[in-house]
Structure 1
Amino acid sequence: MEQIDHDVLPGPRISVVVPTFNEAENLPHVFALLPEVHEVIVVDGWSQDGTVDVARELRPDVRIVMQNRRGKGNALACGFAHVTGDVVVMLDADGSADPREIPKFVEALTNGAHFAKGSRFMPGGGSDDITWLRRRGNRALNQLANVLYGTRWSDLCYGYNAFWTACLPVLQLDHLGEIADERRWGDGFEIETLINARVAKARLSICEVPSFEYPRLHGRSNLDTFRDGMRVLRALAVERWGRPGRGAAAPTVEVPRQVETSRPEVAASPDHFDVRS
C-alpha cells in the first residue's frame, strides 16, 4: 500500500465524515465546535428537514454526498469513498460526540497508531447518554470481542474513531450500487463492530482515546438496544468465522515517516496496544 507522504505538510489533512438523517437542528452545534480541518463530508440519507441546506449555509465548503442505500454503515462507506485527506474522522451529527476532541485522536495517529479508537470507559472518558442496559450489553459484547480477536478494547460499541486514509482498503466497505431503498449486511449500526474487527484482523496498531459522550441534542435516535445488539453479536461471529480470520496475511499499511520516531513512546503508554503482538 502506498505510503502517505507528509514531508511538505505541517500536519495531516483531516477529513471529517458526518452521516446525517434529519439532523438540521443539531448541525449548528456540531459545526460550531469543529476545529480547523481539511474537509467536512456530510453523507445524507435523504433527509426531509433541510439538513443539506443547513449544512451548506453553515459551511459553504462542505462536501455533500447522498448515500445510495439506508443505514449508518452505508453512509460511512459512501463518505469514505470521497475522502481526499490523510486522516479520516468518524463523527456523529446528533451532538453526542464532541468535535473538540478531534485533535486528541489525530495526536494518537501522529504518535504512531494506525487507528485511534474512542472509549467512554477508560480514564478521562464518560457518558451522560448510555443507559444501564446498554452499558451491561456493551460490556458483555466487549469481553467477547476481546476473546475472539485477541484485543484489549474497553469500549466496542462506540462510533467516534479516526484512522489514516491508507487504512481504508483494510475495511473493505461496500459503497457501490444504484440508489435503492434497502439495507445490506454492514449498512446498519453494526458498522463500528465490522470496522473494529477488520482492523484487529489486519493487526494494525490501535490506540484507545478517552472520549465523553453527551445526550442527543434534538430528535430521536434510530438505535434499538436489542435489535442492534444482536446485529453486533452477529457481526462478531461473521467477522471471526465467516471471513478470513486472524491468521490471514495482513496488508501493509505504512505510518507516515515523520511520526515513526515517536512510536516507541506511544507503545509504552497504558492506553495504547498493538493487536499484532
Structure 2
Amino acid sequence: MSANAPRVLVVVPTYCEVDSLRPLVQRVLASEPKPSVLVVDDNSPDGTGALADEMAAAEPRMQVLHRAGKEGLGPAYIAGFHQALDSGDFDIIVEMDADGSHQPEELALLIAAITDGADLAIGARWIPGGRTVHWPWYRKLISRSATAYARVMLRSHLHDITSGYRAFRVPFLASLDLDGLQSAGYAFQIEVAWRAERAGADIREVPITFVERHDGTSKMTTGIALEAIGQVTRWGLSRRSASAPASGRVPAPPSPPRS
C-alpha cells in the first residue's frame, strides 16, 4: 500500500452499455479516493467501446481494454485484472458493474476495509445496513436463494457471496490463480469469494445500496443462472467427497464435464 492515499483502479466490464457508461464513469472519477477507471469492452455492437475511447482520450485517469468478443463476465474481469497487475501502478483493484447498480459514492466503504487490513472487501446487500432499491420481489428471491444455496453447498460464511461490488488488496489478488478460474458468468463471483475463503483470506462485508439499473437491459440469462447452480453443486459435492486439503493449499474446483 502506498504511503499516502491508496492507488485504486476500478475495473468496469462492458457489453452494450453506451447509455450508462458516461454518467457512471463521471461518478467514479468524482468519488474518493480519486480512483482510476479501466473499461473492459467486449466489442459492444452499440458503440460502447468507441465512446469509452473518446472519454479516455480526454481523461488521464481512464483506460480502455478492447476484447475481441463477448465471452462473459469472468474472462473480462480476468483480462482487466491481468492488465492492472502487470502495470504495478495500483494498491487496490475494484470490481464494479457498468449499469449503475453499484454506487460509486460507496466506494470509500470498500477502500476503508482494505486499508484496515482486509484482503477482500465485498459490498453486501443482505447484511444490516445493506439494501436494494427498485428491485422486484422475484429478483430479491432469486438472489437471496442463490446466496443461501451457495452458503450451504460451499459451507461459506459470507452473507452476499454473489455480490459483484468488491475490492481486492493487490498482493492478495496477485496470489490467486486467475487463469485457473472456471466460471464465465454469474458463478465467477461465487468462485472467487469461495477460493478466497478457503485460502484463509481476511474477507469483510460492508453494507451497500444496490439500485436497479435505469438504462439498458440486464445481462442475466437462464443459461448464466443454470451455470451458477451447476458449478456450485459440483463444487459442493466435490468438497464433501474429497479429503481436506493440505494447510495453505487451495485446490481448484473440479472441472465441469466435457460435452
Q: TM-score range by the shorter chain?
A: 0.7 to 0.9
For residues 55 and 169 of structure 1, the distance between their equivalents in structure 2, rounded to whole angstroms, comes to 27
Partner residue of 1:22 out of 16, 34, 55:
16
Query: What SS does the corresponding residue of 2:46 show, helix, strand or coil?
Result: coil
Following the alignment from structure 1 to structure 2, what is the Cα–Cα distance between the partners of residues 211 and 68?
A: 33
Deviation of 1:149 after TM superposition, in Å, equals 4.0
Report if aligned partners of 1:149, 1:200 keep a CA contact under 8 Å in 2.
Answer: no
> For 1:174 and 1:39, how far apart are their aligned partners in 2?
24
1:76 aligns with 2:77: yes
The CA distance in 2 between the partners of 1:203 and 1:174, in whole Å, is 20
| Cross-structure match for 1:112 | 117
Decide which of 125, 137, 140 is 1:135's aligned counterpart: 140
Which of 221, 231, 239 is the matching residue for 1:235? Answer: 231
Kindly state the Cα deviation for residue 251 of structure 1 after the two structures are TM-superposed: 6.4
Judging by fraction of residues, say which structure has more helix.
Answer: 2
State the alpha-carbon separation in 1 of the partners of residues 172 and 72 from structure 2.
22
Asked if 1:164 is matched to 2:172, the reply is no
Question: Structure 1 vs Structure 2: percent identity of aligned residues?
Answer: 29
CA separation of 1:246 and 1:201: change in aligned 2, threshold 3 A: farther
1:64 is matched with 64
Matched residue, 2:203: 206
Deviation of 1:68 after TM superposition, in Å, equals 5.0
1:187 to 180, 184, 192: 184
**For 1:48-106, what per-residue CA distance to the aligned partner results, in whole angstroms no more than 9, with x for missing partners?**
22212322333433211123561111110100001131101001111111111111100
1:245 to partner: Cα distance: 8.0
**What is aligned with 1:247?**
245
Q: For the residues of structure 2 that align with 1:68 and 1:56, how far apart are their CA atoms?
A: 15
Alpha carbons of 1:17 and 1:85: their partners in 2 closer, same or farther (altered >3 Å)? same
Closer/same/farther in 2, CA of residues 130 and 157 from structure 1, 3 Å limit: farther
Which of 7, 10, 13 is the aligned partner of 1:13? 7
**2:185/2:228 contact within 8 Å kept:** no
For residue 223 of structure 1, the aligned residue among 220, 229, 233 is 220
Q: Rate the CA distance shift 1:131–1:231 in 2: closer, same or farther, 3 A.
A: farther
* TM-score, with length taken from structure 2: 0.81
Assess, with a 3 A threshold, how the Cα gap between structure 1 residues 167 and 241 changes in structure 2: closer, same or farther.
farther
1:121 deviates by 1.6
For 2:257, the equivalent position in structure 1 comes to none
Q: Is the 8 A contact 1:41 1:65 kept in 2?
A: yes
- Output the CA distance in 1 between the equivalents of 2:243 and 2:64: 35
What amino acid does structure 1 have at the position aligned with 2:4?
P
Cα RMSD between the aligned structures?
A: 2.5
Aligned-pair distance for 1:157? 2.0
Higher relative contact order (CA 8 A, sep 6+): 1
Q: Evaluate the alpha carbon distance shift between residue 248 and residue 240 of structure 1 in structure 2; reply closer, same or farther with a 3 A threshold.
A: farther
Q: Which deviates more, 63-72 or 166-175?
A: 166-175
TM-score (ref. length: structure 1): 0.76
